Structure 1
């Protein structure tokens, strides 16, 4: 088989277009931010394929323009790999990043060819430096900055570094090679290695990136299963799962634990007077207000309707009371203004309990906190009440 660079470029073109079409079709089933990332990946493959196609067929008229176009298209396609690696994480991407990279390399290559000897050495240098910088950006994004990295991230990042190494070798070859006519492709061993790696990374990289996108999709499904759709805090089921784990850990290590239950006062009146959409705004505002007041290790969940629960690990009754009072005051201060124009006063009542020896299960803790909440309601609302600790029975002589 004739494994010269022209043949490898033709095969890479076919694979790149096939991969682009496949990823384009696969992107339809994903959420919008993952779909955008996959579309960038697919368009990148189309550009890479077009670049290799131009490179393989550039003999004839205007070789300077064709050589510059081939390099510009390939670099623009490679830069879209960086774009998609950021988009899948919902990170900001510089506007027209791929267009700027491809144009800079294409125009730079064209000017080099017009302003000096008509050979490809300096063009190889320019495109190799650009490729190395982009590949290092992609590798850093996948291997260093990506949260929740998995096997697909390490495989893609490792492959990216291997290709970057080949481009470094390409720079050395470009510095030492004799002039190559523009209407021919460079066909030394280093160039063939770079082209073969481009071929392999186009095929294998697509598999890795689809796995990466699927991993993000699974994270999204897990998030949807665990969080409340209106407020973004944990839903009731997930909160109880987390709370049960924390309860058992606190008992095992003899650590303090406090549970708070917060209820929005007279919420039925709010819905009746202002409507359910306004009631939803109030629920969201209370959830946001409470979340801002909590420590990183604390857990908040929506129990249903206008009721929330907050778990405070390593917090005894004194700390728990302080947090509860801070939450109550924050709701009164930050959320009440929502109802000013409607004649509504929005407040919250808080019931709490600190774990002691009388709590055999988390259900015991929850029942006492719920009872404390009713005490707060019965005592006039917009206040904090804690269940009295029962503790172990005293030992009599």
Structure 2
């Protein structure tokens, strides 16, 4: 364990009780977190300045469980939940070494964290970055480091390793559970594609990238024509199969790197990074024709099909005359207006929005 955390552990044992951790442990205050239960979540009531400077955000007062994925990914949130619940339940210190790429950096960093019970459900956490392992590290030491990097350690009265907080088998089960939770949080359960929130997140990242690179960015909004008739005639099970078949057709028509999401019942959206409106229309027409070839088999054995209407909206900074970049939501709204025109013109059509048609704020 890092000497700074050994010192913090010794001071915690000598204190006998914790009332104001930053004041009681001034040498560690910048590297301390104080966490209190807030309903079903955990709130930072103290967030050390070292974390603010290193990670670029002051999370004091924030509820950990509600932080967005780009601030605290699901795997890291699950790890924190486990550690904090374990210490509250067992009322004894827990230490973890953790290696990851933080804050969109290029290189992995190793941090050591010490979680200390502070009474009444409160926790004090000390965390310090440590030197990376040596390139010529002995295989045995590397294996031990790998284990400690994944499994938290309970500390005995002398500050030594008392026990592992969970078995390696339990750790693997825990990681699989976290992966399943991450999938469920970001995916549409019926079709397996991005759900509305995850689509907006991914499309937003791509929009920012294309803006920096001076490239085109296009979105499409797609709506299955007369979808209610499918449900009414053949039932919701056939309607579900229609949605799954539609997604299959989209995957055949789209390119690697295009982003497909389900944003409503029978409404979908696609983001096309680096694609102008001419190329987007070609892709949309190919997709429309692909969907037109889909054949559904209902439970009663009868066959049927369906079509899709598509609205397209494209943007690039040069075309927009130097105006600021729109948001993904603004582009989708513009594409949605084109979709309504496609519906009004007879459905099973592609309509492309003109940038000049976008809604403008009143002067």
TM-score (norm 1): 0.45
- Structure with higher strand content: 2
TM-score (norm 2): 0.49
